[in-house]
Amino acid sequence: MDKATDESTMRARALYEARATGVPIAPFTDTHPALAAEDGYAVQRELVALLLTDGDRIVGYKAGLTSIPMQEMFDTCTPDYGPVLASTVHASGARLPVSAFIAPKVEAEIVFRLGRPLRGPGVTVEEARAAVREVMAGLEIVDSRIQDWRIRLADTIADLASNGAVVLAEPQPAGPDPDHRLTGMVFTRNGEPVATGAGAAALGDPVAVVAWLANTLGAQGVTLEAGHLIMTGALHAAVPMRSGDTFVAEFDRLGTVTLHVDDSDDAGQPPHPEGR
């Protein structure tokens, strides 16, 4: 094992322990500020291997940093990505304990399910659109195993693109020639509007996120499979999540997705079929 691989393995184990214990760790870039995106992905691969060994499975992929303001914040001109794990997927109406996370925040986004495989490079937006079978209203809980969200690009990539969990509404058929750029959304916390957004916030067109993921992963020999979930990125700034909160995102044409936050004994229900 060379030095770079050994360092990636050690960092992955540190994140693995942070996920298990709920105790965050210092940013890797504090001591190694030159760490780049490729270093983060090397750690991510090692961490995913550990989680899959525990019995989890990949049911899709998420893209982050799909808006220009977020890319500017991280001094990058491209999104990042991470796997969606079965253990993190829940159905609308779920009651999730805030204690299951470290520093959670909630974002609303458009989520697709593929009806056919996509393998880049060379996948176009129109080919990606044709591959989408279903579309869903979604809430992503972003969480950081890095202390106080003091993350740079390599840190968040290593930490599965800061993914914590996802809550999904009932799927809707993709339909002929949909324009998801125009899908509007109103996001409320405890009945009070806190954000609005539209599909165009995600890379100009959320379907373009699907094509980007297919091409980026395809260059590494990874195929987006039929049935995979594709999380296309936040439509607004993330909102902190606290016990007792109820979050609702209402989407044009896609319906409503709801998350209740508490630490009661029955928190965590209902599960989504992906998580079974």
Q: What is the pTM of this model?
A: 0.93
Residue 58 has pLDDT above 80, yes or no: yes
Per-residue model confidence as pLDDT tens digits over 74-88:
888 789 999 999 999
Residue 225 has pLDDT above 80, yes or no: yes
Residue 182 has pLDDT above 70, yes or no: yes
| Region 233-247 average pLDDT | 96
Give the pLDDT score at 234: 94
**Which positions ≥6 away from 160 have C-beta within 8 Å?**
44, 47, 48, 82, 83, 85
Structure tokens belonging to residue 181: 């750029």
- Nearest Cα neighbor of 262 from 235, 243, 240 is 243
CA separation for the pair 207, 269 (Å, rounded): 30
When comparing pLDDT for 26 and 276, which is higher?
26
- Nearest Cα neighbor of 153 from 87, 75, 98, 205 is 75
Report phi then psi at 185, rounded to 5. -150, 140
CB contact at 8 A, 61 and 183 = no
| Region 89-95 average pLDDT | 98
Report phi then psi at 219, rounded to 5. -65, -20
CA separation for the pair 190, 211 (Å, rounded): 35
Q: How far is CA 83 from CA 89, 154, 155, 241, in A?
A: 12, 16, 15, 22
Give the pLDDT score at 229: 98
